[in-house]
Amino acid sequence: MSLKSNAILNIYSIMVIIIIYFQALRCLEKNSLRDKLYMSMLNITILMLVIDILSRFDGKALPIYPVLNNIGNFLIFLINPILPSLWVVYVYLQIFHKDRKIRRLVFLLCAINVTNFTLLIFSQFFDWFYYIDSNNIYHRGPYFALPVFIDFILLSVAFATILLNRRRLDKKSFLSLMFFALPPIASIFLQIKFYGMSLMLNSIVLSLLVLFLNFQNHDIYTDHLTKINNRKKLDVYLKKKINASAAGKAFSAILVDINNFKHINDTYGHSMGDKALEATARLLKDCLEVNDFIARFGGDEFCLILDISDKKELQSLVCRINKCLDNYNQCDSHPYYLGLSMGYAVYSSRSHRNAENFLKEIDMLMYQEKKASKSQNYKVF
């Protein structure tokens, strides 16, 4: 690939990254370690694209070109494993959501990068990875494949981690994370086979773009407070489930309402009311399977969509939710009593009900239970 072609391709990739960068500043959380890692990957990709241009001055005669060629290639080999290392940490946080337990992982990745740096220094004297001759021509060294192999291993580890923990992820997140490694891995094989071809950085730009589009999609359909799906996503998902039910894919739904939520707000303040909403979302989510759907339906209402076709199984889940609710109320970490009213039903395709009518049905069942619960005394801890 010629210097001009490489420069044009890299400049185009940099422009794409810059657009993603400014869009990401608007929608990502500044205090999230995961989002900080994503922004770091954008920054490093831009840096490497610029350096990659500097490493392409092969055979140029001016005195400055050998200097640029040497500096560019050294920095490319130095920074190369940093990007996949960040990706491994990002994947870990996306799956396990544990900021504090990544120290061992970070230590191991730092050791890999330090080893790469040490080998790169020795390579300047023994031409292990590459060398640049007196005519300013770049040549691969006998161990050129080693840094490439390190990148491949890191990407493969991230890929395997995603695959083995797919049940912890929703479908769209799983697919976008799985896709991330595919273009870089494909470009690695092309780079090994075809001398002078290096599309890895450009392929990473494609992966980062797909990942960002998933961020945007998640932001559009996520409730800001509870971090679960919002009403807009519920409407889309429920219509999809009803359409699928015609092919024999039955499902169930539960509509949940927090009892005496106004009392919690009035007595303990809106911040405590927000905590009650967050606690309810967590409690419900913990009772569900990974592929089940949960959304905030309204102010203090939630909707669950489940792949359950048997009413007894549905009632069993309701009992499990009530048991989790009892356990929550027995702890002393909150001043309020959390009560829930639930209306639930199995959707039958033979009824030919649309989403609106089905929601009205379980809404009516929920308010019947809510009316019955009002006869009980309200507890305050």
In this model, does residue 277 exceed pLDDT 50? yes
In this model, does residue 178 exceed pLDDT 50? yes
Euclidean distance between CA atoms 381 and 362, whole angstroms = 31
Interval 122-143 mean pLDDT: 91
Domain 231-378 sits in which CATH superfamily?
Answer: Reverse transcriptase/Diguanylate cyclase domain (3.30.70.270)
Interval 229-250 mean pLDDT: 87
- Residue ranges matching CATH 1.20.1070.10 in the chain: 3-220
| Whole-prediction pTM | 0.71
β-strand partners of 302: 256, 296
| Neighbouring residues of 86: CB distance < 8 A, sequence distance ≥ 6 | 37, 40, 41, 44
Question: Are the CB atoms for 192 and 201 separated by under 8 Å?
Answer: no
Mean pLDDT of the chain: 87
Q: What are the distances in angstroms from CA 337 to CA 29, 258, 332, 333? A: 32, 10, 10, 11
- pLDDT given for residue 379 in this prediction: 47
Q: Which of 19-23, 52-56, 330-334 has the highest mean pLDDT?
A: 19-23
Q: In which band, very low, low, confident or very high, does the pLDDT at 312 lie, cut at 50, 70 and 90?
A: very high
- pLDDT given for residue 65 in this prediction: 84
Residue 277 burial (C-beta neighbours within 10 Å; 0-12, 13-18, 19+): buried
- pLDDT given for residue 141 in this prediction: 92
In this model, does residue 303 exceed pLDDT 70? yes
- Residue ranges matching CATH 3.30.70.270 in the chain: 231-378
CATH of span 3-220:
1.20.1070.10
